[in-house]
């Protein structure tokens, strides 16, 4: 059965809002449409149909991508981000796809597109411009006066000294990747870490660090996969296993990963159980955000059931703990507000029950 079709003008208006603000729910999206484009006369039914059409388009593009062999490692970085074709798969004998100059300027992992009319993602260059806007917003929210960069520099120096003593090539590549990451040169960090993975594909740390480099540069889909790769190679219940799990969750819940195949634990009960184990394994890490988000039940990345007042209060406590651990003032303030929101919701739930 085909998805319903929406009028072209309304469809394009909804598409534009979805690109600019991918996390908007139905009601806020409808309100913005009525405010910005009153002449469309958009109603709930029409907007639902437009969203269904966009979803059908996205699924069609996903099927094009899924029909190709799943890429990994270095080959993924050379493929078109729209249709995942390698340059060698093009009919014109090219050696490279066009790259994004802005990505190059910002020292981000190079983003390739096969052309302006990529069949897997029509209009991808325009969408990629929105990516840079979102990345700036993300980076601003993580600003902490250089505290994290200083920690990264110290860690890189420790690994450099260790590598110098052992002469181990894998450790040298890890140290190299960390050094570039401390300079926020995500392209060179990624290159060194991919070389480390190629050298020892069963070792987890390079996957974990590559996930961080990709996450910091806005490449959430591959970041999620690299964190999952690290998780699978770490002892279950260890601190590093917990960190990799929480960071994979943080990537997978993003709108950019909506079409990504999810692990078997990606359901309400599975996430509740896993997030509890993660926090127990790493109680002094930013893993608390996973538990907080899961217990709040307000993420639309999976189907969450109703939450009890006790679960909401526990979510608030984990948001508070995350706020205490992060060094970024904007992030600290945002999580404190979410903690208050969860407590207010818990109180309202109790008041309703008492009434």
Taking the domains of the chain in order of start, what are their residue ranges?
1-67, 68-141, 204-354
pLDDT of residue 117: 67
Distance CA 214, CA 222 (A): 7
Distance CA 322, CA 246 (A): 12
Distance CA 222, CA 260 (A): 10
Tell me the per-residue pLDDT of 39-53, one tens digit each, with 9 for 90 and over.
Answer: 777 788 887 887 777
Count of C-beta atoms within a 10 Å radius of residue 116: 11
pLDDT of residue 280: 95
Identify the three-state secondary structure at position 80. strand
E strand map for 97-152:
none
pLDDT of residue 73: 45
pLDDT of residue 74: 46
Distance CA 353, CA 347 (A): 10
- Counting Cα atoms < 13 Å in the Cβ hemisphere of 287 gives 22
pLDDT of residue 1: 31
Q: What is the DSSP string of 219-268?
A: -HHHHHHHHHHHHHHS-TTSHHHHHHHHHHHHHHTSGGGTTSPPPTT-SH
Count of C-beta atoms within a 10 Å radius of residue 108: 24
Residue spans of the chain under pLDDT 70: 1-8, 18-24, 54-77, 81-82, 106-110, 116-117, 119-149, 353-355
Closest CA to 111 of 199, 222, 259: 222
Closest CA to 81 of 132, 33, 39, 115: 115
Identify the three-state secondary structure at position 99. strand
Tell me the per-residue pLDDT of 92-138, one tens digit each, with 9 for 90 and over.
Answer: 888 888 777 777 776 666 677 777 667 655 565 566 666 666 666 66
Name, in order, each residue with C-beta under 8 angstroms of 342's C-beta and a sequence gap of 6 or more: 292, 296, 312, 313, 315, 316, 319
CATH topology of domain 204-354: 1.25.40
CB contact at 8 A, 35 and 68? no
């Amino acid at each position: 059965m085909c998805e319903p079709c929406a009028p072209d003008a309304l469809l394009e208006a909804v598409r534009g809002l979805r690109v600019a603000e991918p996390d908007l729910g139905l009601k806020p999206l409808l309100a913005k449409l009525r405010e910005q484009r009153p002449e469309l006369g958009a109603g709930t039914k029409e907007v639902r149909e437009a969203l269904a059409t966009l979803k059908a388009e996205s699924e069609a593009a996903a099927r094009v991508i899924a029909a190709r062999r799943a890429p990994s490692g270095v080959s993924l970085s050379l493929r078109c981000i729209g249709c995942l074709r390698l340059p060698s798969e093009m009919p014109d004998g090219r050696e490279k796809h066009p790259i994004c100059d802005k990505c190059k300027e910002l020292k981000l992992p190079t983003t390739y597109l096969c052309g302006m009319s990529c069949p897997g993602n029509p209009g991808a260059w325009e969408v990629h411009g929105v990516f840079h806007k979102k990345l700036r917003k993300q980076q601003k929210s993580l600003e902490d006066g250089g505290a994290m960069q200083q920690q990264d520099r110290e860690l890189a120096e420790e690994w450099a000294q260790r590598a110098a003593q052992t002469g181990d090539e894998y450790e040298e590549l890890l140290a190299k990747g960390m050094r570039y990451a401390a300079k926020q040169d995500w392209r060179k960090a990624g290159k060194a870490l991919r070389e480390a993975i190629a050298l020892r594909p069963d070792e987890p740390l390079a996957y974990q660090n590559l996930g961080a480099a990709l996450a910091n540069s806005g490449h959430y889909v591959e970041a999620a996969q690299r964190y999952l790769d690290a998780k699978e190679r770490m002892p279950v219940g260890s601190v590093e296993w917990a960190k990799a799990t929480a960071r994979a969750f943080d990537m997978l819940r993003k709108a950019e990963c909506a079409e990504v195949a999810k692990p078997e634990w990606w359901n309400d009960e599975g996430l509740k159980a896993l997030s509890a184990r993660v926090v127990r394994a790493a109680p002094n890490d930013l893993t608390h955000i996973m538990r907080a988000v899961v217990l709040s039940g307000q993420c639309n990345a999976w189907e969450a059931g109703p939450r009890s007042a006790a679960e909401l209060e526990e979510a608030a406590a984990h948001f508070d703990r995350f706020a205490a651990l992060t060094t970024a003032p904007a992030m600290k303030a945002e999580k404190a507000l979410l903690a208050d929101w969860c407590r207010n919701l818990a109180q309202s739930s109790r008041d309703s029950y008492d009434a």
